[in-house]
Chains A and B, each alone.
Chain A
Amino acid sequence: MAKMSERRYSEITGRAVLYGILIIVAAYYLVPLLIMIMTSFRSMDEIRMGQLIELPRSFTLDAWHQAWNQVQIGARDELGLRPYFINSIKMVIPAVAISTILGALNGYVLSFWKFRGSELFFAALLLGCFLPFQAILLPQSQLLGWLGLTGSISGLVLTHVVYGVSFTTLFFRNYYVNLPGELIKAAKLDGAGFWMIFFRIILPLSSPILVVTVIWQFTQIWNDFLFGVVFSDPSSQPVTVGLNNMVNSTTGETRYNVDMAGAIIAALPTILVYVLAGKYFVRGLTAGSVKG
């Protein structure tokens, strides 16, 4: 009996230690976010008198207004992160839509309409998933120049589509090859053609992978900085570039509250996606890693 209770006791302490560790680790991940949020609602007077890491004693939306449409970023006329945010939206919607549609069609062909060389092509396409983009920056900027798209949102959309299609194709292809092939064979025997099978059979089965792909592409493109900083000019820069310029170019006093509010503004869309559809976000990450 004594032995039993001793064992139970050590089991309970074990669990307590386990939960203790997990909660401390959770704090490590959460604290920067909490400081970001708290600081964004404090006034600069308060931060100046106190310090960055402390509980807020006042509440003001001033830093959010500043970051959104009042702070001077670079030498542009429009103030704040708002124009950059709008650029990001204008860039991300067409880029995600086009690359996802292309990926779905490619995956469909590569799974059910294989032809001589299509497997080889798929293997060749996968280099695009691992390509360090530095290896294409110079030719791409030359090409955008020739097309007259330098410094335009269309140029960014083109770039994101071209370098996103490897991933979207991989996602759809890996999903479609696991669908039962008999389904399509039967449909073909019944005389259904390429588009009919795609729209009537495949597309209705695609919603899980569609969500994963859209979320993946949205996160990648929204968070991109490299293409944004290389291929855009002040009128077309995305919000990541705007934020970086804001944080690093403020003349005079550093306004931590404005920086933090700006960081949250830039992060909000992807955080929202993560909170609303985290399951699919994780699936995209693991699909991109384990099978890529």
Chain B
Amino acid sequence: MSVTNRKGLDYWLPKLVLSPTIAITVIFIYGFVIWTAVLSFTRSRILPQYEFVGFEQYVRLFANDRWLGAMSNLLIFGVLFIAICLIVGLVLAILLDQNIRAEGALRTIYLYPMALSFIVTGTVWKWLLNPTVGIERFMISLGWESFVFDWIVNPQMAIYTIVIAGVWQASGFVMAIFLAGLRGIDTSIIKAAQLDGASLFSVYTRIIIPSMRPVFFSAFIMLAHIAIKSFDLIIALTGGGPGNSTDVPAIFMYQFSFQRGQLGMGAASAIVMLMTVLAILVPYLYSELRTPKNG
């Protein structure tokens, strides 16, 4: 009798322990996503209300110039941010992988911005990029009178300042991922290739970089995720301006939902953001799950 009791306890206990998290997942993650989706099909303005209007909010969203601007800004920022981070990260990782004496110290320096809040990064770069006090002023004081670097106040160029600050913050992190990937490569293959007379350059381009495909992939996913969610960096750096020139979907969602009393449209924009993340993530997870894990 006591034996079956024991088994009963060990049978139920794991489920009991997991149950708070099951509740969290069902309510706060899936439930709330569905709730947001439902809101996006309603007429909700300042307060949620459940009069359904079909896809009207989405139609309004994609007819809204600010939203289209925010999406195209995200595209520009996302592509440049991801591409530059990947290139800088990979190059730094390869350079650091050449038996560098002070590797530990350099790694620490490259990576520390990742420990900062985007608000801190934004605050610092806001003043560095400000033409009247920052880099432009500094270059002029050095004697380069005609030096101009006013991107942050130039609506055409402001989005690129977000890229500068974003790359500064996140590229060291990509370096760390790539460095871990490089260290995981079987060195005997590399030695064999070098014995066969392959140059260091071709060892990297033909063997090492292709074998790091999964690492590229996961770095890409992380960066895309950071880019789509980017909110605090832009709030601190430009506040979305000048004008709406650095507006992104996350800022649009926040302002329409919480400041302009357009809950329905805010919810629709949130769902579009989620769909964008899923569109990137699902193919990745699919390919990850299909290929059998080695080790």
CA distance A33 to B111 in the complex (A): 13
Query: What chain B residues lie within 8 Å of A108 (beta carbons)?
Result: 17
Render B133-145 as a binary contact track against A, CB cut-off 8 A, 1 for contact: 1110110010000
- B195 at the binding interface (Cβ < 8 Å): no
Interface of A, secondary structure class, is: helix
CA distance A267 to B113 in the complex (A): 10
B269 touches A194 (CB 8 A): no
Find B168's partner among A32, A223, A226 (CB 8 Å cutoff): A32
- Would you mind naming 18 contact pairs between A and B with Cβ atoms under 8 Å apart? A22-B92, A29-B113, A29-B168, A29-B172, A52-B127, A105-B17, A106-B21, A115-B14, A115-B15, A118-B18, A134-B249, A137-B258, A138-B36, A162-B28, A194-B13, A223-B119, A240-B120, A244-B235
Interface size on B, residues (CB 8 A): 90
Query: What chain A residues lie within 8 Å of B22 (beta carbons)?
Result: 121
CA distance A263 to B239 in the complex (A): 17
B36 touches A136 (CB 8 A): yes
Q: Which of A133-147 contact B (CB under 8 A)?
A: 133-140, 142
Residue in B closest to A32 when the chains form the complex, CB atoms: B124
Query: What chain B residues lie within 8 Å of A4 (beta carbons)?
Result: none
Residue in A closest to B14 when the chains form the complex, CB atoms: A113
B133 touches A36 (CB 8 A): no
Query: What chain A residues lie within 8 Å of B116 (beta carbons)?
Result: 223, 267, 270-271
Question: Which one of A56-64, A70-78, A281-289 contacts B?
Answer: A281-289
Query: What chain B residues lie within 8 Å of A222 (beta carbons)?
Result: 117
Question: Which one of A89-97, A123-131, A149-157, A204-212 contacts B?
Answer: A123-131
CA distance A101 to B235 in the complex (A): 33
Find B258's partner among A133, A162, A230, A281 (CB 8 Å cutoff): A230
A281 touches B115 (CB 8 A): yes
CA distance A115 to B13 in the complex (A): 11
Please name the 10 residue pairs, one residue from A and one from B, whose CB atoms are nearest each other, closest first.
A113-B14, A223-B117, A225-B232, A274-B115, A139-B32, A53-B138, A136-B32, A134-B270, A139-B35, A135-B274
Query: What chain B residues lie within 8 Å of A79 (beta carbons)?
Result: none
Question: Which one of B77-85, B146-154, B215-223 contacts A?
Answer: B215-223
Query: What chain A residues lie within 8 Å of B115 (beta carbons)?
Result: 219, 267, 270-271, 273-274, 281
Question: Which one of B55-63, B155-163, B173-181, B185-193 contacts A?
Answer: B173-181
Find A266's partner among B28, B120, B266, B281 (CB 8 Å cutoff): B120
- A165 at the binding interface (Cβ < 8 Å): yes
- A163 at the binding interface (Cβ < 8 Å): yes
Q: Which of A191-214 contact B (CB under 8 A)?
A: 193-195
